Structure 1
Amino acid sequence: MRIAVIGATGNAGTAVLRALQRRSEVTHVLGIARRLPDHTVEPYDSAEWASIDIAAATACDEAIAELTENLRNYDAVIHLAWLIQPNNRRELLHRVNVEGTRRVAEAVAAAGVPHLIVASSVGSYSPDNARTTAGDLPLRDESFPTDGIKSSHYSSDKADQEDVLDAFEAAHPEIAVTRLRPALIFQRDAASEIQRYFIGSAVPSRKLRPGALPSLLLPKGLHIQVIHSDDAGEAYAAAAVTGRGGAFNICADDILSPRDLATILTGSDSVAEAPAALVRAAMVTAHTTGAVPADAGWLDMAMGVPMMDNSRAKRELGWTPRHGAADTVREILDGMADGAGHSSPPLQPRDAGQRNVQAIHENAEEGANAGTGTSAPKPLPETIGHDLLELYLSDHLTGATAGVNRISRMAADFIDTPVYGLLGQMAEQITAERDFLAQLIKDLGMQRKPYRQAVAWVGERVGRLKLNKRAVERSPMTLLLEADLMRGAVQAKMGGWEALLSHAEDLGLDPGVFEQLIDDAKQQLKNLEEVHAYAAPRAFTEDGTTDR
């Protein structure tokens, strides 16, 4: 079988690739994503890859044509792509999630693929009014209505996606359509991603380890179902191999009660419960102030959706969950405490920049002291003044800190443009370079100037205030201006690497490291030229936007 997986780099996608590897029936896998993963790392090394934007920044006809061309001669398509953030970009979320599904379905039909498997969700279900705070939890099968929870953008979009699939099935009865409706999907490799999306820095990571919280306040009546990512991956693989159409609930066999959650998080089965409305009000405040990334719609969904019956998946797909809900939650919490992740853009670990510092050295010859933190500082020659070099490097670290903030914001703000991939790639690379420079200063036995980095942090954020009569909405001029500023920053950074290259031998450093960094900076300038070329024609039109 030849199977294409759209959205193959995320939490579910990574697990699906692993599951497909274990299936002898599967002979070829195509992974499709907007930003591609490290092809040398499992399970991404088992697939052929194509970079395709299904809806964020690509016109409908163009996206369908590109998908159609890539999906020809495949036996099944597993569509997993879904955008969760940014919460405040509802039009973008709906376009990618709902319109994107419509485009994928049309491409499947045009390419003659006989089977479409789509990631729906427990969130597609309507509120179950039979759920009570007293603990009545009837299990619902796949016939339960799928009108969603209106106050949750995720749930609303999942319900709209179901409507898209209803219409597609009616128009194309020759194509088997499978809808998997999983519960919350967790695995260790997704820990940092889930923390970024839902928790942020509101809770110190060390406190997320099982049993570490001193106390826990939960909304009264909260019960949740989860599924381990590997079990979800096996369900998708089973659906593809069996060719079964229809809807399937995918969840672990056990349901987590407030007492279960308290036991996991605090180590005690004593739980404090408050009215859901009170917890919701606190969540609204936390989200509004930026303390928590998730909005209150996620709580509304958790309190409203039905508890699912997974017996149909067991019966018709031959699928059985192998992980319990409690153990799955413990695994994700341990992963959050450790900053765990994986080698794809969505699953980047918490300290990805620090972890990538070593990669800078692996791309060049090893030197006596290449800034890895593994060698004792070498005494500086008399021809080099310690204080002067320390100030020079600290000032470059200040500039690097501002550069990281700027390029990271650009990648986040312009996710709906064709240059998002370039911006995201540069954000990862420039972050790693900043962390390398910080490590180098330490290796040379020098001191950083933290107050300078703090000033850079404040200055960069003050620079976000736009005097362009568009205080709320994004100006079409912004991307052009940001590209101009980043080009200057990269030029300055390259000058710093060139200066260090000229003194590398005296400092006991590997020249190859700085030669590689200079080459990387030159490529970043070329990438920014491409961003500039895209932004310039759109920058000064009153009705112009940068998303097309």
Structure 2
Amino acid sequence: MKVAVVGASGNVGTAVLNHLVDASEVTGVVGIARRMPDRDVAPYSSAEWHLVDVGAEARDDAAEEAIIERLVAAFDGVDAVVHLAWLIQPNHERDLLRRTNVEGTARVARAVVRAGVGHLVCASSWAVYSPAPDLTPRDEAWARDGVRSSHYSVDKAAQERVLDDLEAEYPELVVTRMRTGLVLTADAGASIARYFIGPWVPRRLLAPGALPILPTPTGLRAQVVHADDAGRAYLEVLRRRAGGGFNLSTGETLLGEDLARILDHGRTVPVPAGVARSLLHYAWRSRLFASDPGFLDMATTLPVMDVTRARRELEWEPRHDADATVRDLLDGMVRRAGGASVPLRPHDRSFEGVPGLRPALRGRAPAATGEPGGPLDRELLRTYLDDHLSGSTAGVARIERMARAYADTPIGPDLRLLAGEIGHGRDELMTLMDELGLPTRPHRQGLAWVAERLGRLKTNGRVTHQSPLTVLLELELMRSAVAGQAGLWQTMVEIAGDLGMGRDRFAELAERSIAFQTRLEELHARVRGDALRASGERPLKLA
């Protein structure tokens, strides 16, 4: 049995890989992620890897088709696909989350069908269920409309509707939904703290016994499962080709007083859920806390899951109880424990709730070629790309302003087209940094934006009206800017192999930038003849 795992570098993905690589019946594992893990470290070293972002923005049908075709190629020859890719942050960017979580699932589903894969196992969640009025355990038949005030829950419900449609259209395909509680482990401690808490809560407060008293929202309840136990359940589903929904948790329900017992000395202060929600809302809006109030809504309204089906049909029993699972996570959070993938990176204080702040690239040695070389220095690469991003920010601002300022002149249409295409080049650079897990420095882009606007104050010899020199100088500056952009993409062609990426992508971007230079040179030729002439008050009176 050959298995492909989409989202194989995250918390659950790593746990699934751990069990797949040790299973005698598994003959091959394909890992798919948008950011490459360290392939010299187990369990990632046992997989064949493909870089695919299932949530990438497709600007047209051709781009959409390209994403699906990359998935189809990765699924070639596999017997089952495990789909785990899911975005939790940045949760202020709702469109991005839905594109990855719901549309990404639809892309995987289409690729599974096209590749002829017979079994799709999808990571669903406790969050898919509709609210329940009490703590009576509910089985897999409970309503699946989610909690409407939680984007996470709404997307989980929408994801399952994608699977419903898939099953209806392709009844021969085995589709499995793994409805887990909170999947916890020490090795995800740093990651879970980044995703759900953020940078401002001292980690030492999470150590058992550190808090003298714990405020707990009324109605709080939680179900958890250890990542290792979840990984075993996924393996059992694959072995048995078991379809349908499976609830997965330790079978216990943790209430506020249980969490207080684990976190402190068992002393709690009940806080009305409405008050707690208001406080959380403002903390989230101000970026002081990573979790939005929708997570609290889930934790106070979702039903308790009945896990009988998993125990009966998979012969699965959790090896970690709820207390031990939570304590394991807390230990990992305090230690900032992690793993050898970008999502699980340890000791990183980047806040993923703020757009643009992303993890650090793990350097990787180039393939043995007999030529001098060594691992890429991630800080040098980050600085290099970030410097180009700052320059690109200023360049895009300049070309967009030129397109507006000269809209009614003969060169206006050309400038408008160039502005859109050069802006797309900047988007490609930001996407690249995101794929590599390289944090940007937003303040530098802000300074570049300000510097470009200050540059407009230069009069070029005229105060009361536009100087004939302005358009000439601006076109020359833009020629320099796109020449720098071409150099960037040419450099990326050279190091693409070290990053586990294709050279063709960067070669195409380099060719585009060179073409920009040619088009700007043509515009420059159209205006330079009159710009310095005494009668040329406005050099754009062109034939």
Aligned to 1:8: 8
Quote the Cα distance in structure 2 between the aligned partners of 1:194 and 1:174.
37
Secondary structure of the 1:5 match is strand
Aligned to 2:432: 422
Aligned to 2:141: 143
Residue type at the aligned position of 1:422: L
Q: CA deviation at 1:425?
A: 6.6
Structure 2 matches for 1:240-389, cutoff 5 A?
240-266=238-264, 268-351=265-348
Quote the Cα distance in structure 1 between the aligned partners of 2:53 and 2:148.
28
The question of whether the paired residues in 1 share the 8 Å contact of 2:54 and 2:100 is answered with yes
Aligned to 2:183: 185
Matched, 1:84 2:88: yes
Q: Once the two structures are superposed, what CA deviation does each residue of 1:286-315 show, in whole Å capped at 9, x if it has no partner?
A: 011110011111111111111101110111
Q: Once the two structures are superposed, what CA deviation does each residue of 1:467-513 show, in whole Å capped at 9, x if it has no partner?
A: 99xxxxxxxxxxx99x979x79x99xxxxxxxxxxxxxxxxxxxxxx
Quote the Cα distance in structure 1 between the aligned partners of 2:188 and 2:279.
26
Q: CA deviation at 1:284?
A: 0.5
Aligned to 1:17: 17
Secondary structure of the 1:140 match is coil
Quote the Cα distance in structure 1 between the aligned partners of 2:360 and 2:70.
33
**Cα–Cα, structure 1 residues 295 and 357, in superposed 2: closer, same or farther, change >3 Å?**
closer
Q: Once the two structures are superposed, what CA deviation does each residue of 1:438-491 show, in whole Å capped at 9, x if it has no partner?
A: xxxxxxxxxxxxxxxxxx9977766677999xxxxxxxxxxx99x979x79x99
**Cα–Cα, structure 1 residues 459 and 177, in superposed 2: closer, same or farther, change >3 Å?**
closer
TM score, norm. by length of structure 2: 0.69
Secondary structure of the 2:149 match is coil
Structure 1 range deviating more: 55-64 or 306-315: 55-64
Structure 2 matches for 1:9-88, cutoff 5 A?
9-58=9-58, 59-88=63-92
Quote the Cα distance in structure 1 between the aligned partners of 2:89 and 2:511.
27
The question of whether the paired residues in 1 share the 8 Å contact of 2:35 and 2:437 is answered with no
Structure 1 range deviating more: 335-344 or 8-17: 335-344
Secondary structure of the 1:308 match is coil
Residue type at the aligned position of 2:279: A
Matched, 1:196 2:194: yes
**Cα–Cα, structure 1 residues 403 and 6, in superposed 2: closer, same or farther, change >3 Å?**
closer
Quote the Cα distance in structure 2 between the aligned partners of 1:9 and 1:357.
14
**Cα–Cα, structure 1 residues 465 and 284, in superposed 2: closer, same or farther, change >3 Å?**
farther
Quote the Cα distance in structure 1 between the aligned partners of 2:171 and 2:449.
52
The question of whether the paired residues in 1 share the 8 Å contact of 2:189 and 2:333 is answered with yes
Residue type at the aligned position of 1:81: A
Q: Once the two structures are superposed, what CA deviation does each residue of 1:62-81 show, in whole Å capped at 9, x if it has no partner?
A: 22222122212211110001
Residue type at the aligned position of 1:56: A
What 5-or-longer segments of structure 1 have no aligned partner? 132-136, 364-395, 432-455, 469-479, 492-516, 539-548
Residue type at the aligned position of 2:84: L
The question of whether the paired residues in 2 share the 8 Å contact of 1:484 and 1:532 is answered with no
Secondary structure of the 1:319 match is coil
**Cα–Cα, structure 1 residues 244 and 336, in superposed 2: closer, same or farther, change >3 Å?**
same
Secondary structure of the 2:222 match is coil
The question of whether the paired residues in 1 share the 8 Å contact of 2:83 and 2:122 is answered with yes
The question of whether the paired residues in 1 share the 8 Å contact of 2:342 and 2:360 is answered with no
Q: CA deviation at 1:340?
A: 1.0
Q: 2:157 aligns with which of 152, 156, 159?
A: 159
Secondary structure of the 2:289 match is coil
Quote the Cα distance in structure 2 between the aligned partners of 1:150 and 1:303.
13
The question of whether the paired residues in 1 share the 8 Å contact of 2:257 and 2:266 is answered with yes
The question of whether the paired residues in 1 share the 8 Å contact of 2:219 and 2:301 is answered with no
The question of whether the paired residues in 2 share the 8 Å contact of 1:7 and 1:80 is answered with yes
**Cα–Cα, structure 1 residues 108 and 2, in superposed 2: closer, same or farther, change >3 Å?**
same
Q: Once the two structures are superposed, what CA deviation does each residue of 1:355-399 show, in whole Å capped at 9, x if it has no partner?
A: 9999899x9xxxxxxxxxxxxxxxxxxxxxxxxxxxxxxxx99x9
**Cα–Cα, structure 1 residues 464 and 179, in superposed 2: closer, same or farther, change >3 Å?**
farther
Q: CA deviation at 1:233?
A: 0.9
Aligned to 1:502: none
The question of whether the paired residues in 1 share the 8 Å contact of 2:9 and 2:342 is answered with yes
The question of whether the paired residues in 1 share the 8 Å contact of 2:183 and 2:227 is answered with yes
Residue type at the aligned position of 2:9: T
Q: Once the two structures are superposed, what CA deviation does each residue of 1:57-96 show, in whole Å capped at 9, x if it has no partner?
A: 3432222222122212211110001111111221221111
Q: CA deviation at 1:424?
A: 3.9
Secondary structure of the 1:307 match is coil
Secondary structure of the 1:262 match is helix
Secondary structure of the 1:248 match is strand
The question of whether the paired residues in 1 share the 8 Å contact of 2:361 and 2:437 is answered with no
The question of whether the paired residues in 1 share the 8 Å contact of 2:129 and 2:157 is answered with yes
Aligned to 1:118: 122
Quote the Cα distance in structure 1 between the aligned partners of 2:305 and 2:361.
45
Aligned to 2:530: none
Q: CA deviation at 1:203?
A: 1.4
Aligned to 1:230: 228
Quote the Cα distance in structure 2 between the aligned partners of 1:26 and 1:420.
37
Secondary structure of the 2:57 match is coil
Identity %, equivalent residues: 44
Alignment length (residue pairs): 429
Residue type at the aligned position of 2:163: L
Secondary structure of the 2:29 match is strand
Residue type at the aligned position of 1:227: V
Residue type at the aligned position of 1:276: A
Secondary structure of the 1:32 match is strand
Secondary structure of the 2:309 match is helix
Quote the Cα distance in structure 2 between the aligned partners of 1:102 and 1:352.
33
**Cα–Cα, structure 1 residues 401 and 78, in superposed 2: closer, same or farther, change >3 Å?**
closer
TM score, norm. by length of structure 1: 0.69
Rg comparison, structure with higher value? 2
Secondary structure of the 1:345 match is coil
The question of whether the paired residues in 2 share the 8 Å contact of 1:405 and 1:457 is answered with no
Structure 1 range deviating more: 458-467 or 304-313: 458-467
**Cα–Cα, structure 1 residues 219 and 70, in superposed 2: closer, same or farther, change >3 Å?**
same
The question of whether the paired residues in 1 share the 8 Å contact of 2:389 and 2:429 is answered with no
The question of whether the paired residues in 1 share the 8 Å contact of 2:19 and 2:232 is answered with yes
Matched, 1:98 2:120: no
The question of whether the paired residues in 1 share the 8 Å contact of 2:181 and 2:225 is answered with yes
Residue type at the aligned position of 2:432: L
Residue type at the aligned position of 1:62: A
**Cα–Cα, structure 1 residues 352 and 296, in superposed 2: closer, same or farther, change >3 Å?**
closer
Q: Once the two structures are superposed, what CA deviation does each residue of 1:236-285 show, in whole Å capped at 9, x if it has no partner?
A: 1111111010100010122211111011111x112111110000000001
The question of whether the paired residues in 2 share the 8 Å contact of 1:419 and 1:531 is answered with no
What 5-or-longer segments of structure 2 have no aligned partner? 351-358, 368-378, 394-423, 454-476, 489-494, 517-543
Aligned to 2:215: 217
Residue type at the aligned position of 2:175: V
Q: Once the two structures are superposed, what CA deviation does each residue of 1:125-169 show, in whole Å capped at 9, x if it has no partner?
A: 01112x2xxxxx100100001001111001000000111111100
The question of whether the paired residues in 2 share the 8 Å contact of 1:56 and 1:417 is answered with no
Q: Once the two structures are superposed, what CA deviation does each residue of 1:166-195 show, in whole Å capped at 9, x if it has no partner?
A: 110000001110000000111112111111
**Cα–Cα, structure 1 residues 356 and 420, in superposed 2: closer, same or farther, change >3 Å?**
closer
Q: CA deviation at 1:97?
A: 0.9
The question of whether the paired residues in 2 share the 8 Å contact of 1:405 and 1:460 is answered with no
Quote the Cα distance in structure 2 between the aligned partners of 1:459 and 1:169.
49
